[in-house]
Amino acid sequence: MNESLLPVGSCRVGAAFPDRAAAIRACGRLLVESGNVDEPYVEAMVERDAASTVYVGNGVAVPHGTKASTAHIRRTGLAVVQVPDGVDFGKDRVARLLVAVAALGDEHMDLLAEIAELCADDDALARLLAAKSPAELHALLTAGA
Protein backbone atom coordinates (compact mmCIF):
# COMPACT_ATOMS: atom_id res chain seq x y z
CA MET A 1 0.00 0.00 0.00
CA ASN A 2 1.16 3.48 -0.77
CA GLU A 3 2.63 5.12 2.34
CA SER A 4 1.04 8.48 1.51
CA LEU A 5 -2.42 6.87 1.70
CA LEU A 6 -1.78 5.20 5.04
CA PRO A 7 -0.02 7.29 7.69
CA VAL A 8 1.25 5.39 10.72
CA GLY A 9 -1.26 7.35 12.80
CA SER A 10 -4.05 5.61 10.91
CA CYS A 11 -2.95 2.16 12.10
CA ARG A 12 -4.14 0.53 15.34
CA VAL A 13 -3.29 -2.82 16.90
CA GLY A 14 -4.87 -4.75 19.74
CA ALA A 15 -8.28 -3.14 19.37
CA ALA A 16 -11.50 -4.60 20.78
CA PHE A 17 -15.07 -3.56 20.04
CA PRO A 18 -18.48 -4.55 21.40
CA ASP A 19 -19.96 -4.76 17.90
CA ARG A 20 -19.29 -4.08 14.24
CA ALA A 21 -20.84 -0.60 14.27
CA ALA A 22 -18.37 0.47 16.98
CA ALA A 23 -15.51 -1.05 14.98
CA ILE A 24 -16.58 0.75 11.81
CA ARG A 25 -16.95 4.05 13.66
CA ALA A 26 -13.44 3.67 15.10
CA CYS A 27 -12.09 3.17 11.57
CA GLY A 28 -14.03 6.20 10.39
CA ARG A 29 -12.63 8.35 13.18
CA LEU A 30 -9.12 7.47 12.05
CA LEU A 31 -10.02 8.69 8.56
CA VAL A 32 -11.42 11.91 10.05
CA GLU A 33 -8.32 12.44 12.22
CA SER A 34 -6.02 12.04 9.23
CA GLY A 35 -8.02 14.61 7.25
CA ASN A 36 -9.30 12.17 4.63
CA VAL A 37 -13.00 12.62 5.34
CA ASP A 38 -15.49 14.85 7.09
CA GLU A 39 -17.42 13.53 10.08
CA PRO A 40 -20.66 12.60 8.18
CA TYR A 41 -18.66 9.96 6.26
CA VAL A 42 -18.34 7.91 9.47
CA GLU A 43 -22.08 7.28 9.80
CA ALA A 44 -22.27 6.60 6.06
CA MET A 45 -19.77 3.78 6.65
CA VAL A 46 -22.12 2.25 9.23
CA GLU A 47 -25.07 2.70 6.83
CA ARG A 48 -23.13 0.99 4.05
CA ASP A 49 -22.46 -2.05 6.23
CA ALA A 50 -26.12 -2.20 7.29
CA ALA A 51 -27.18 -2.24 3.63
CA SER A 52 -24.65 -4.88 2.61
CA THR A 53 -21.89 -6.23 4.82
CA VAL A 54 -18.38 -4.87 4.39
CA TYR A 55 -16.94 -8.21 5.46
CA VAL A 56 -14.96 -9.55 2.50
CA GLY A 57 -13.69 -12.88 3.82
CA ASN A 58 -10.64 -14.50 5.41
CA GLY A 59 -11.07 -12.41 8.56
CA VAL A 60 -11.01 -9.05 6.75
CA ALA A 61 -13.61 -6.29 6.54
CA VAL A 62 -13.36 -3.21 4.33
CA PRO A 63 -15.49 -0.44 5.83
CA HIS A 64 -16.31 2.35 3.39
CA GLY A 65 -19.06 4.87 2.83
CA THR A 66 -22.12 4.92 0.65
CA LYS A 67 -22.05 6.34 -2.87
CA ALA A 68 -23.83 9.46 -1.60
CA SER A 69 -21.14 10.00 1.04
CA THR A 70 -18.35 10.62 -1.47
CA ALA A 71 -19.10 14.35 -1.07
CA HIS A 72 -17.56 14.02 2.41
CA ILE A 73 -14.23 12.65 1.15
CA ARG A 74 -11.46 15.25 1.15
CA ARG A 75 -8.73 12.97 -0.19
CA THR A 76 -8.12 9.28 -0.74
CA GLY A 77 -6.81 7.44 2.29
CA LEU A 78 -6.86 4.30 4.39
CA ALA A 79 -7.05 3.30 8.03
CA VAL A 80 -6.18 -0.18 9.28
CA VAL A 81 -7.29 -1.65 12.61
CA GLN A 82 -6.15 -5.01 13.96
CA VAL A 83 -8.71 -6.75 16.22
CA PRO A 84 -7.01 -9.86 17.65
CA ASP A 85 -10.17 -11.34 19.18
CA GLY A 86 -12.22 -10.32 16.17
CA VAL A 87 -15.46 -8.48 15.74
CA ASP A 88 -18.63 -10.29 14.68
CA PHE A 89 -20.01 -9.30 11.29
CA GLY A 90 -22.79 -11.90 11.51
CA LYS A 91 -23.32 -15.32 9.97
CA ASP A 92 -20.04 -16.74 11.32
CA ARG A 93 -18.05 -13.87 9.79
CA VAL A 94 -15.45 -12.59 12.24
CA ALA A 95 -13.12 -9.80 11.13
CA ARG A 96 -9.69 -9.54 12.71
CA LEU A 97 -8.42 -6.88 10.33
CA LEU A 98 -10.39 -3.84 9.21
CA VAL A 99 -9.15 -1.82 6.25
CA ALA A 100 -11.18 1.38 6.00
CA VAL A 101 -11.26 3.06 2.60
CA ALA A 102 -12.10 6.59 1.52
CA ALA A 103 -11.43 7.07 -2.18
CA LEU A 104 -12.07 9.77 -4.73
CA GLY A 105 -13.01 8.84 -8.28
CA ASP A 106 -11.75 5.50 -9.54
CA GLU A 107 -8.88 5.34 -7.04
CA HIS A 108 -10.83 2.82 -5.00
CA MET A 109 -10.40 0.15 -7.67
CA ASP A 110 -6.62 -0.03 -7.19
CA LEU A 111 -7.01 0.02 -3.43
CA LEU A 112 -9.58 -2.78 -3.50
CA ALA A 113 -7.28 -4.86 -5.72
CA GLU A 114 -4.45 -4.47 -3.17
CA ILE A 115 -6.80 -5.39 -0.32
CA ALA A 116 -8.03 -8.44 -2.24
CA GLU A 117 -4.43 -9.60 -2.69
CA LEU A 118 -3.86 -9.18 1.02
CA CYS A 119 -6.97 -11.21 1.86
CA ALA A 120 -5.82 -14.07 -0.33
CA ASP A 121 -2.33 -14.28 1.22
CA ASP A 122 -2.67 -16.20 4.50
CA ASP A 123 0.99 -15.68 5.44
CA ALA A 124 0.87 -11.91 4.93
CA LEU A 125 -2.39 -11.70 6.84
CA ALA A 126 -0.90 -13.71 9.72
CA ARG A 127 2.03 -11.26 9.91
CA LEU A 128 -0.37 -8.32 10.06
CA LEU A 129 -2.39 -9.98 12.81
CA ALA A 130 0.81 -10.66 14.78
CA ALA A 131 2.04 -7.05 14.60
CA LYS A 132 2.69 -5.66 18.07
CA SER A 133 2.66 -1.93 17.32
CA PRO A 134 1.09 0.52 14.89
CA ALA A 135 4.56 1.17 13.45
CA GLU A 136 5.09 -2.55 12.79
CA LEU A 137 1.65 -2.90 11.21
CA HIS A 138 2.34 0.17 9.07
CA ALA A 139 5.74 -1.14 7.97
CA LEU A 140 4.24 -4.48 6.95
CA LEU A 141 1.48 -2.81 4.96
CA THR A 142 3.63 -0.26 3.21
CA ALA A 143 6.33 -2.83 2.43
CA GLY A 144 3.72 -5.10 0.85
CA ALA A 145 3.49 -7.42 3.90
Question: pLDDT for 92-109, tens place per residue?
Answer: 999 999 999 998 877 666
Give, in words, the CATH class of 8-137. Answer: alpha beta
Residue 72 among the catalytic residues: no
How far, CA to CA in Å, does 35 sit from each of 7, 22, 72, 77, 133? 11, 20, 11, 9, 22
Mean residue pLDDT across the chain: 91
Gap between the Cα atoms of 48 and 143, Å rounded: 30
Residue 68's pLDDT is 92
Tens of pLDDT, residues 53-92: 999 989 999 999 998 999 999 999 999 999 999 999 999 9
Whole-structure pTM value: 0.92
Decide if pLDDT at 117 tops 60.
yes
Q: What amino acid occupies position 33?
A: E
Catalytic residue among 64, 72, 108, 138: 64
Closest CA relative to residue 66, chosen from 90, 89, 49, 81: 49
Gap between the Cα atoms of 20 and 49, Å rounded: 9
Decide if pLDDT at 115 tops 90.
no
